[in-house]
Amino acid sequence: MGSSLPSRLLTQHNEPLSQRIWPESIRKVSKTGYGCQFSEELSLLANRYAHSVGDRLVFVSVETVNSQVLDTFQTYMVIPRPDSGILKRVYANILGSDGFLSLDIPEKILKRLYTYGSLKDTEEGAEFEVKNRLQDAKFSGISRLAINGVEIKPEDVRLETASGEVYQLEEVTAEQPITFSVGDTVYVVVQGVNLDTGDHKIDLEFTAEPFGDLSLSITDTIRDEGELPSIPRDDQDNYSERAIKQRHEYLKEKTGVELEHVPEFSFDAHTGEGNIENFIGVAQMPLGIAGPLKVNGEHADGEYPIPLATTEGTLVASYSRGMKAINMAGGAKTTVVDDRMNRAPVFVFEDARKARDFREWVFDHYDTIKQKAEETSSVAELVEIEDYMTNNLANFRFSFQTGDAAGQNMVGKATFAACNWILQEYPGYVENFYLEGNLATDKKASKINDMKTRGKRVTAEVTLDEKTCLHHLGAEPESMAHHGKISDINAFFGGLDSNGAHAANGLAALFIACGQDEANVAESHATIGNVTLLDDNSLHVSVTIPSLIVATYGGGTGLPTQRECLQMLDCDGAGNVNKFAEIAAATVLAGELSLGAAISASDWVTSHDELGRNR
């Protein structure tokens, strides 16, 4: 069909699409904010006069009069065939889309720019929020705003940023945009408009580069919630002595409790900023020392006193007993065999075939996706993207190495940046997207972690001779091995996520003492244990933790008492996370030995009676 066009059409206006404006006579912009809808006549015309000629798309526009197409050429352009992204999508859809031209942002994703629940009636007028949840951009102004069908005049609109900058709408233009980075909020104040409680429809058309012209049509609600109770806060300094005292007084008034021990803390309350909100004091947990524990690792090599914070009597004593057995055998051999932290985005498609095609495109562009992810951090390194396809969903697990940080927030930011690039560049249509589809299994044990690793995958092992089993642990090696097999059977029978005895006990106590995220015990406790009776009646015991999530930098590791506990282990600060992981695994091994022997020798109940009497 291209050959039927006049030759002069192939020689003029040879600029790229980015340098020319789409002829208004060809396009009709829809109000959904994520696409253009061709009229039936113009769709037919586009199919007739938009042709592939070599590596270029020749696009001819015409005038329309009274909805009739005049077959006379007015203007035209020549568009180079794009390699990727939105231009490639435009190119493909013009030639075979039945008139619909899909753009970058699906409506369901676009609506996330609006903060639901932000609409409120103030003394100045109505106010709502637009927050960038997509990618770094520049906010270039509002072209139309209507509330409940009433058009708002531009001079009645004021824009405010979270940093306190204030603009009249006319001041914000393409030449003078507002920086609109990911996470930034723009507050839209409509002066002189007062809203009652109830539902209100907001129609908003605005421009944000690189997205272009966007449209939102949403319904938000102003609720009459009365005066709700709240905790005293100081917006200027919520960690000040005054703010803390106000909360103490609030608790006394509400509960009748006058705090005596909670307010007794030894560090500057401002140290807790970023770790705790509405600070009132500290929960003082008893802290004991187990061991020392001899570790023969690739990162941890020596004898370590193990700080354990717990309220459970016998726990420190039990772990110390297991550590002594390990020491008698010459120490625990520890090995970190894998390291990765995950985020699992999910992309939604019309059907499974489109999801499959998308997966192939992602893997074809792995190098660029890796680059976009790693640009967000000096530490995060993308090592693998795993795919898990089900129904019309393309699930991925982005797996990173994160240095000495546990890394959940780090990999979330990196994956978000990569997914934004994917959404912008993928030439097909993504119906919806979520940064986390629950396959990273945050704070949950899972079989996928057992197989693929989350955090550190580390093994601790030791071989105990018969005398150590009998005279120190008080159990025969045969009995301990037999009990191990029964535990394996019943772990399978009961559907357990671990065949171990009580890894959560030691890990929780160690995590609290050393400033780890204690909720990560949910994943980290899922151990894989193995007990083998050897020919000389000695016992080889090993424990693998496939998802040990630990850190020696960031989070709670910098708090004063937690940092001191890490210092006891020579594990504070950068460069020590694998060392700490090996010590943690060896600690778990000690607990498994002690409890396994106590059960095998029927000493479990009597030991608790002896050392746990303060119940």
Catalytic residues: 312, 517, 608
Q: Could you write out the DSSP letters of every residue in 94-137?
A: HHHSTTEEE-SS-HHHHGGGB-TT--EE-SSEEEEEEE--SS-E
| H or E, element range at 370 | helix 366-374
Where in 412-499 does DSSP place strands (E)? 432-434, 455-464
Provide the angle, in degrees to the nearest 10, between the axes of the packed helices 577-600 and 503-513: 140
CA atoms within 13 A on the CB side of 404: 16
Q: How many of the other CB atoms lie within 10 Å of CB of 569?
A: 24
Contact (Cβ atoms closer than 8 angstroms) between residue 388 and residue 446: no
| H or E, element range at 365 | none
Place of tokens 């020596």: 302
For residue 303, give the 3-state DSSP assignment. strand
| H or E, element range at 92 | helix 85-96
Contact (Cβ atoms closer than 8 angstroms) between residue 346 and residue 415: no
Residue 613 dihedral angles phi and psi, to the nearest 5°? -75, -15
**Rounded Cα–Cα distance for residues 35 and 301 (Å):** 61
From the list 339, 226, 271, the residue with the least C-alpha distance to 579 is: 339
Burial of 413 (0-12, 13-18, 19+ CB in 10 A): middle
**Rounded Cα–Cα distance for residues 54 and 195 (Å):** 58
From the list 536, 563, 538, 568, the residue with the least C-alpha distance to 551 is: 563
Residues 6+ apart with CB under 8 A from 547: 445, 449, 450, 453, 454, 455, 457, 523, 524, 526
Residue type, 79: I
Alpha helix locations (H) across 494-538?
A: 503-513, 521-524
Percent helix, percent strand, percent coil in the chain, to nearest 5 = 35, 30, 35
